Amino acid sequence: MLWVATTILALAPQGPVGGRDGRIVLPPTRGAEQAPQKPAVRDGEQRRFHERALELRRSRFLSEVSEEDLLRRIGGEFEDAAARAIKLARSADDDVMHGVMRILATYGGVEEAGEIKFLLHTRSFGKATGIAVSTMATIARDSARDMLFDCMTASREIVRRLAADELERRVQPEDSQRLITLAGQGRADVRVRALRLLGSVPTDRATDVLLTALRDDSRFAVEACRSLIEVGEPVVAPLTEILRRPAKGQEFGFAAFALASIEERLGRELFEDVMRPHLLAELDMPDPFMRSAVAIALSGMAWRSPDTNGATFHDHAVVDALVSVVAPSEFVQHVSLIQDLARNRLVRLTGEDFQLDNRKWRSWWDTVGKVEGYVGARQHLEVTSDTARAGVLTWKDPKNHIRLRGESIDPLPPSDDLVVDLLVAPEEFVDIVTQLHRAGFMRETNRRATVPAESSLRLTVGGARCQTDPMADLTDLAPLGAVVHRAAFDRIWQLYRDPA
């Protein structure tokens, strides 16, 4: 046997097998990775099209005019520009993809939109994902919402996020059921975005889902709260119903904040006195979010109330809770949700405005808050002939400081400050306050300036006070200044009389 095998090997040809002389080329092992091959350009026209697309790439930073000129040239040079763009989109990098999408936005249609949707599900677009999603939505026309909803469940988070952003501008009430389905199942980020979009389709069923989500995990509750605020007046009744009962978990805090936000937007009082004991009960809770949320609600109730001793709404505790979220010294959950409104309410209730300076807010309250019984400002103070004797009107602007005081208020001691300090009889004091009220003082307005006002008016009667908003608009302040200046001019003779 050994002799036969040796003979066969000796007679076998010794030339090359599958390769050059002396080398044996073996087939690749199954599963071995192949080096990525660049897509072959099959014809000269596709090569030229690729070159045109390169001219539109993002990194060239073309002007709008230059880009439009290139797009016109491409349309004239290639009859099938959209089809060639889709072919190139299957392999182009994100820089070239910018140009490809600009071509598709100009020459593509519903069919090309479907191709883009398929590619968004199957490949990465990198930095071009945004323009790809917006191009798909634009050229899909009536099918845009269907395609965007499909992309809401894509495997890549960036595609889901950008699809939701596009849907926010296009969503319709008839989409509410699809959003409700997405809000109740699937990935957490999809649920959050679906809850956000439900705020744009205020159907009864959508509102029920949002209200239920206030009891859910905080990620979903925060987004549901924002959406309820966006819905606005239609959800006032169910939010009010929650606040008429004792608190049961975080739902109460979110409902209080949402109703306060809607109240701010509508410019009218939405909280009822029956809610006050339930809100006050949560003001003593250890949870900083709950404490701050109910403080925002109570601050508005206190500001509008006739209470002048600060006890009815616990002004001191309310301001303390607001300062804790405006200038936090400990972790406050959902601070980004509540901080802006908390600051606005704090400014209104205290008359102070340190804006974003946490150190000044904290320093001020560390001093003022040491004294129990702090009384906040009020929207309106009733002034009669009897109470006018203890009243003081103070007007400040860049050039003037005018103080009009009742008969029982002592004059200011001499100082270097140029303060015009004038005595006003009780009936005249009431008349001046009436004129100020007609001019807009002690009335709520939705107009707010972008920078703090340089002028202010404050009325104090005993321990109570009301004042203009530190962020009041100049058009609201000018008429008030005119009334005070006229009253001061009529009494300026007091500065020149002989005390003897």
Q: If you average pLDDT over every residue of the chain, what do you get?
A: 88
Last residue of a domain, one of 379, 414, 447: 379
Closest CA to 275 of 300, 242, 238: 242
Please tell me which residue, 261 or 500, carries the higher pLDDT value.
261
In a shared domain, residues 248 and 165: no
In a shared domain, residues 435 and 399: yes
In a shared domain, residues 241 and 374: yes
- 100-113 pLDDT per residue, tens: 999 999 999 999 99
In a shared domain, residues 401 and 304: no
Residue 141 burial by Cβ neighbours in a 10 Å radius (0-12, 13-18, 19+)? exposed
Last residue of a domain, one of 140, 170, 200: 170
Residues 465-482 have a mean pLDDT of 84
In a shared domain, residues 327 and 344: yes
- 392-451 pLDDT per residue, tens: 999 999 998 999 999 999 988 877 678 899 999 999 999 999 999 999 998 876 666 566
Side chain identity at residue 10, one-letter code? A
Report DSSP state, residue 17: B
Residues 9-18 have a mean pLDDT of 48
In a shared domain, residues 397 and 342: no
| Number of domain units in the chain | 3
Q: What pLDDT is recorded for position 426?
A: 94
Which structural domain, as residue segments, surrounds residue 282?
A: 232-379
Residues 135-139 have a mean pLDDT of 96
Tracing tokens 């119903």 back to the chain, one arrives at 241
Q: What pLDDT is recorded for position 183?
A: 94
Residues 114-118 have a mean pLDDT of 96
3-class secondary-structure state, position 450 = coil
Split at pLDDT 50, 70, 90, the class of 29 is: low
CB 353 within 8 A of CB 343: no
Q: Which tokens belong to 453?
A: 């006002």
Residues 254-269 have a mean pLDDT of 94
Count, in order, helices (H) and strands (E) of the chain.
22, 5
| Beta-strand pair 464-467/401-405 | unpaired
Lowest-pLDDT range of 34-38, 296-300, 495-499: 34-38
Tell whether the model's pLDDT for residue 49 goes beyond 50: yes
Sign of CA dihedral 168, 173, 174, 176: positive
- 89-101 pLDDT per residue, tens: 999 888 889 899 9
Please tell me which residue, 38 or 308, carries the higher pLDDT value.
308
User: CA 389 to CA 411: how far, in whole Å?
Assistant: 13
Give the torsion through C-alpha atoms of 28, 30, 35, 41, to 10 deg.
Answer: 90
* 192 found inside a domain: no
Q: What pLDDT is recorded for position 24?
A: 64
Beta-carbon contacts of residue 100 (< 8 Å; ≥ 6 apart): 53, 56, 85, 88, 89, 92
In a shared domain, residues 367 and 399: no
Q: Spell out the alpha helix ranges (H) of 78-143.
A: 81-89, 94-107, 110-122, 129-140
In a shared domain, residues 250 and 310: yes
Sheet order of strands, 391-396 included: 420-423, 401-405, 391-396, 456-461, 464-467
Tell whether the model's pLDDT for residue 467 goes beyond 50: yes
Q: What pLDDT is recorded for position 267?
A: 84
Closest CA to 109 of 89, 129, 83: 83
Q: Which tokens belong to 19?
A: 């390769």
Residues 214-230 have a mean pLDDT of 95
Give the torsion through C-alpha atoms of 33, 38, 42, 46, to 10 deg.
Answer: 150
Tell whether the model's pLDDT for residue 5 goes beyond 90: no
pLDDT over 90 percentage in the chain: 62
pTM of the model: 0.80
User: CA 162 to CA 148: how far, in whole Å?
Assistant: 9
* 478 found inside a domain: yes
CB atoms within 10 A of CB 148: 24
* 428 found inside a domain: yes
Give the torsion through C-alpha atoms of 365, 367, 370, 376, to 10 deg.
Answer: -50
Q: What pLDDT is recorded for position 452?
A: 67
Tell whether the model's pLDDT for residue 385 goes beyond 80: yes
First to last CA, the chain: 149
- 282-318 pLDDT per residue, tens: 998 899 999 999 999 999 999 999 888 888 999 999 9
User: CA 434 to CA 52: how far, in whole Å?
Assistant: 74
